[in-house]
Amino acid sequence: MLGLDISSTTVKLLELSKQGNRMRVESYAVTPLPPNAVVEKNVNDPEGVAECIRQIVERSKTKLQTVA
């Protein structure tokens, strides 16, 4: 399971796996967004946000291949 949080200043990624009845953190990464890329929940710079997401996925080294 992969979670992605986009705030007005950062993109955060958290990858979890289930082991029995417990959840395990597989990877975690945070990267800053360009200034004013997201303002009050409005994406003003979609290319900048997309680049940050690409960078954070690469840096996290997630093994997930599918998206829901």
Contacts of 62 (CB under 8 A, 6+ apart): 2, 13, 15, 26, 27
Q: How far is CA 45 from the centre of its chain?
A: 16
pLDDT tens figures, 34-48: 999 999 989 999 999
Determine the pLDDT at residue 65.
73
| Residue carrying the six token digits 């705030």 | 7
For all residues of the chain together, what is the average pLDDT? 91
Determine the pLDDT at residue 36.
94
Q: How far is CA 14 from the centre of its chain?
A: 7
61: pLDDT confidence band, cut at 50, 70 and 90? Answer: confident
How many CB atoms sit inside 10 A of residue 56's CB? 20
Determine the pLDDT at residue 54.
92
| C-alpha–C-alpha distance, residues 50 and 35, integer Å | 14
